[in-house]
Amino acid sequence: MFERSIPEWLRHPPSAAARKPGAKAFATLSGVEAMIRGMLLSVFPLAMYRALGDAGTVSWVYFGIGLISLYVGLLLPWINRFVPRRWLYSLGALLYFVGCGFGMLGGMYIVPALMCCTLATVTCFICLNAYVLDYVSKHDLGRTETLRMFYSALSWTAGPVTGVALLNIWAPAPFLVGAVGALVQLAVFWWLRLGNGKIIQKARGTAPNPLAFISRFFAQPRLIAGWLFAVLRSCGWWGYIVYLPIYAIESGLPPALGGALVSLTNGFLFTTPLMLRWVQRHSVRTAVRTGFLVATIGFLLAAVSPVPYLTVGLLFVASAFLVLLDISAGLPFLMAVKPSERTEMAAVYSSFRDVSGIMTPGLGALILMVAPIQGIFAAVGFGLLGMYVLAGRLHPRLGKARTRLA
């Protein structure tokens, strides 16, 4: 009689699987991290330009930091064999805090500040994507990615323009806000209790070559194509976020214009649920090809535009379709990952950020030796055009749920 009075959920508590984190948990964590990255998004290019005084030098610094970040990112799966994922993610959040501390010092300390924040981004990105691949089914990846962007929309929209405004009022201010955000990120992560993921086990025997899984990546054409989509999409964002503010300054436009436009662009994140419906109504292939095509047109026209304000406007239009690519262009890779390779392939996928961070400023530094900044816009445009062609090889029904026969 007494046993019947005990609630069912106390007599049979939900298992760990039933309590597994869902899309909202990952979206919440992404939204908190966006507070930091959004605040510093337009601050770093301006602070670097002020400290170094030359767009070419800024490009070379970004290039060097990109190389370091790529190496660290590829080593993380091997490090994860000895350091649990929850501690790796915590280290990433602390790197944001340290980087913001360097940023508050100003001057040439902006270089180690950028390095710490870049390593923080790649560490948190790899860990979070591994968590997503652990707990989210393939057909829910689109909803999860959209929800993550929607939860981050306010930070990405208000952050860039606020960061630039604070930088002009008191240079350490945006980094102080970022440091507080890093502590909040760390607290939220531990409050969510994501643990070490679903398949993390204690390492047994001799650890394999940390880069051995790259050969498995190159043996899967779908993963290669999906990774290339992510790389060139990120190159588009590099051309817009880093070089647009510098272009505005060198063209005599208001210095705050770049940050304001980045904030306006990030306002499109509020429309991501509508974009997702459009993707689901058509297909991943249609969405990816549309995004790359319109972004290509915008960058190539901006490269030849003789009017600075027209150039800025064309890049702004192109950036709206980069947001569409943020939703759709990563899905071909994530949908092709084998369950047994989640952590390793999450590291490979995250390398798109570092590779684009090497390609864009490296190529940009060379272009600036012989051409103005608009030459960088042209190079980005041709790269996006190549991805439009490659996306034509995607399966027409990629991402659509399979229909069952009655």
Give the span between the Cα atoms of 406 and 233, in whole angstroms. 41
The Cα-based distances of 108 to 44, 48, 224, 276 in angstroms read 12, 8, 38, 42
Give the span between the Cα atoms of 398 and 370, in whole angstroms. 42
Residue 20 pLDDT: 66
Mean pLDDT of 230-242: 91
**Token pair of 371 as six digits:** 């051409």
The CATH architecture of the domain made up of 21-196+211-391 is Up-down Bundle (1.20)
Query: Of 152, 131, 132, 149, whose CA–CA distance to 141 is shortest?
Result: 132
On the question of pLDDT at 154 being above 80, the answer is yes
Give the span between the Cα atoms of 102 and 63, in whole angstroms. 20
Encode pLDDT of 261-304 as tens digits: 888 887 887 887 888 888 888 888 899 999 999 999 999 999 99
Residue 16 pLDDT: 41
CA atoms within 13 A on the CB side of 344: 18
Residue 187 pLDDT: 92
Give the span between the Cα atoms of 289 and 361, in whole angstroms. 25
On the question of pLDDT at 233 being above 60, the answer is yes
Residue 399 pLDDT: 55
Model confidence band, residue 74 (pLDDT cutoffs 50, 70, 90): confident
Give the span between the Cα atoms of 137 and 140, in whole angstroms. 5
On the question of pLDDT at 404 being above 50, the answer is no
Within 8 A by CB and 6+ apart from 296, the residues are: 318, 381, 382, 384, 385, 388
Give the span between the Cα atoms of 334 and 284, in whole angstroms. 12
Percentage with pLDDT > 90 across the chain? 36
Model confidence band, residue 15 (pLDDT cutoffs 50, 70, 90): very low
Encode pLDDT of 123-153 as tens digits: 998 888 888 877 776 666 767 777 887 888 8
Phi and psi at residue 12, in whole multiples of 5°?
-135, 75
The string over 197-207, giving b where at least 16 C-beta atoms fall within 10 Å of a residue's C-beta and e elsewhere, is beebeeeeeee
The Cα-based distances of 82 to 124, 127, 339, 383 in angstroms read 17, 14, 21, 38
Say which residue, 396 or 155, is predicted with more confidence: 155
Percentage with pLDDT > 70 across the chain? 85
List the end-to-end C-alpha distance of the chain, in Å, as a whole number.
46
CA atoms within 13 A on the CB side of 89: 25
**Token pair of 175 as six digits:** 């980094």
Say which residue, 343 or 68, is predicted with more confidence: 68
Residue 3 pLDDT: 43
Model confidence band, residue 241 (pLDDT cutoffs 50, 70, 90): confident
Average pLDDT, the chain: 83
